[in-house]
């Protein structure tokens, strides 16, 4: 997949592969959940029907983060992860548009005339709640009007599951509650995050459960504190495991930074400095403080057994 960085003002000769007509799906797509996949899938199908390339336009950093909404400082799918998911969906070209003050202050008409049209769009596909232009004044209806027939606009309806609209917010809420099955259903895949293995206190080794301490490589949404069954991708191989997210209250006291520690089954080796991807399979229990190390070890054994069954 070609990843093409754009900034305003747009130079179509440097950005659109020669100004060829294309079908363009536009959105933030944080999470690339089932609703987002509907929008992207529609663009792919329209492109096949028209015999044109399909592309995505997304924004970085997240517009709501630029506008000061703190919860968007962490993302379900930071940029690198989002690009990988686009590749898996079969997208051949993605425009990553720098969302800055100059872009934020474009009027809806300027966005159409000075950003979309230079890319040679034949058809634009957006979700029902798409907004654009200064203060989000543009919407799918105004996009149709402002196009003046120069390109088609397709609007994808909301995607519902169990009577509720699938959204990035609903995925975040599920993860914040440790509701792994709900997050998995909404995403259409297990939630995952990637981190570099860094040195820790190595207490796990002393009690027979060595762990990989993960430092997330991007600003991922970290799920609720607790113990999870996971699958980890390490150097191209997948391992089952159990991961603790939290502050390790049996060992520590006071206000501490949350850590992510994964114990991988049937794995031995030095992976310090390696980046591994961890998928959440099931939430096993809340994090809690134990009265002794022996109690902790006994519980970890039970967690490992439960994780091995959950990750079948």
The 8-class DSSP code of residue 134 comes to: G
Class of domain 2-158: alpha beta
Closest by CA position to 122, among listed 103, 141, 147? 147
Is the pLDDT assigned to residue 206 strictly greater than 70? no
Query: For residue 2, what are the β-bridge partners?
Result: 93
Residue ranges covered by each domain of the chain: 2-158, 190-310
Is the pLDDT assigned to residue 194 strictly greater than 60? yes
Instruction: Give percent above pLDDT 90 in the chain.
Output: 73
Q: What does the alpha-carbon distance between residue 103 and residue 233 come to, in Å, rounded to a whole number?
A: 38
Encode pLDDT of 237-295 as tens digits. 999 999 999 987 666 655 567 899 999 999 988 889 999 999 999 999 998 888 788 88
- pLDDT, average across residues 169-180: 97
Q: Which helix (H) or strand (E) holds 296?
A: helix 293-310
Residues 35 and 167: beta-carbon distance below 8 Å: yes
Q: What is the pLDDT of residue 137?
A: 95
Is the pLDDT assigned to residue 26 strictly greater than 80? yes
Q: What does the alpha-carbon distance between residue 16 and residue 93 come to, in Å, rounded to a whole number?
A: 9
Q: What is the pLDDT of residue 186?
A: 98
Encode pLDDT of 43-61 as tens digits. 999 999 999 999 999 999 9
Q: What is the pLDDT of residue 247?
A: 83
Does the CA dihedral 22-27-28-32 come out positive or negative?
negative
Instruction: Give percent above pLDDT 70 in the chain.
Output: 89
CB-count burial class (<10 Å; 0-12, 13-18, 19+) for 12: middle
Q: What is the pLDDT of residue 12?
A: 65
Q: What is the pLDDT of residue 257?
A: 76
Encode pLDDT of 107-164 as tens digits. 999 999 999 999 989 999 999 999 999 999 999 999 999 999 999 999 999 999 989 9
Q: What is the pLDDT of residue 71?
A: 67
Q: What does the alpha-carbon distance between residue 222 and residue 220 come to, in Å, rounded to a whole number?
A: 6
Q: What is the pLDDT of residue 288?
A: 86
Encode pLDDT of 3-22 as tens digits. 999 999 887 665 555 456 89
Q: What does the alpha-carbon distance between residue 235 and residue 264 come to, in Å, rounded to a whole number?
A: 13
Is the pLDDT assigned to residue 236 strictly greater than 50? yes
Q: What does the alpha-carbon distance between residue 258 and residue 222 come to, in Å, rounded to a whole number?
A: 9
Q: What is the pLDDT of residue 199?
A: 80
Query: For residue 275, what are the β-bridge partners?
Result: 196
Q: What is the pLDDT of residue 312?
A: 64
**Residues designated as active site:** 261
Helix (H, G, I), strand (E, B) or coil at 257: coil
Class of domain 190-310: mainly beta
Q: What is the pLDDT of residue 258?
A: 85
Q: What is the pLDDT of residue 205?
A: 56
């Amino acid at each position: 997949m070609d990843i093409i960085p754009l900034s305003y003002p747009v130079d179509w000769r440097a950005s659109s592969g020669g100004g060829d007509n294309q079908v363009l799906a536009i959105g933030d797509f944080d999470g690339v959940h089932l609703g987002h996949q509907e929008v992207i899938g529609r663009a792919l199908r329209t492109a096949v029907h028209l015999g044109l390339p399909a592309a995505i336009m997304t924004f970085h950093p997240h517009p709501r983060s630029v506008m000061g909404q703190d919860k968007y400082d962490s993302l379900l799918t930071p940029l690198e992860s989002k690009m990988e998911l686009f590749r898996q969906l079969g997208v051949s070209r993605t425009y990553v548009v720098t969302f800055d003050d100059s872009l934020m202050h474009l009027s809806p008409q300027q966005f159409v005339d000075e950003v979309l049209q230079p890319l040679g769009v034949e058809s634009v596909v957006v979700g029902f709640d798409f907004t654009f232009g200064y203060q989000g004044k543009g919407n799918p209806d105004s996009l149709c009007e402002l196009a003046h027939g120069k390109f088609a606009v397709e609007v994808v309806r909301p995607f519902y599951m169990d009577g509720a609209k699938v959204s990035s917010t609903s995925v975040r809420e599920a993860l914040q509650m440790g509701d792994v099955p709900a997050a998995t259903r909404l995403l259409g895949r297990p939630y995952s995050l990637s981190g570099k293995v860094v040195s820790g206190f190595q207490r796990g080794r002393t009690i027979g459960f060595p762990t990989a301490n993960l430092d997330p490589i991007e600003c991922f949404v970290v799920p609720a504190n607790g113990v999870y069954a996971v699958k980890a991708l390490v150097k191209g191989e997948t391992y089952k495991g159990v991961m603790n997210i939290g502050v390790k209250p049996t060992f520590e006291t006071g206000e501490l930074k949350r850590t992510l520690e994964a114990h991988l089954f049937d794995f031995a080796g030095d992976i310090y400095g390696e980046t591994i991807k961890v998928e959440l399979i099931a939430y096993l229990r809340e994090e809690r403080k134990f009265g002794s190390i022996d109690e902790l070890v006994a519980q970890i054994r039970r967690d490992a057994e439960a994780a091995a069954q959950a990750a079948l």
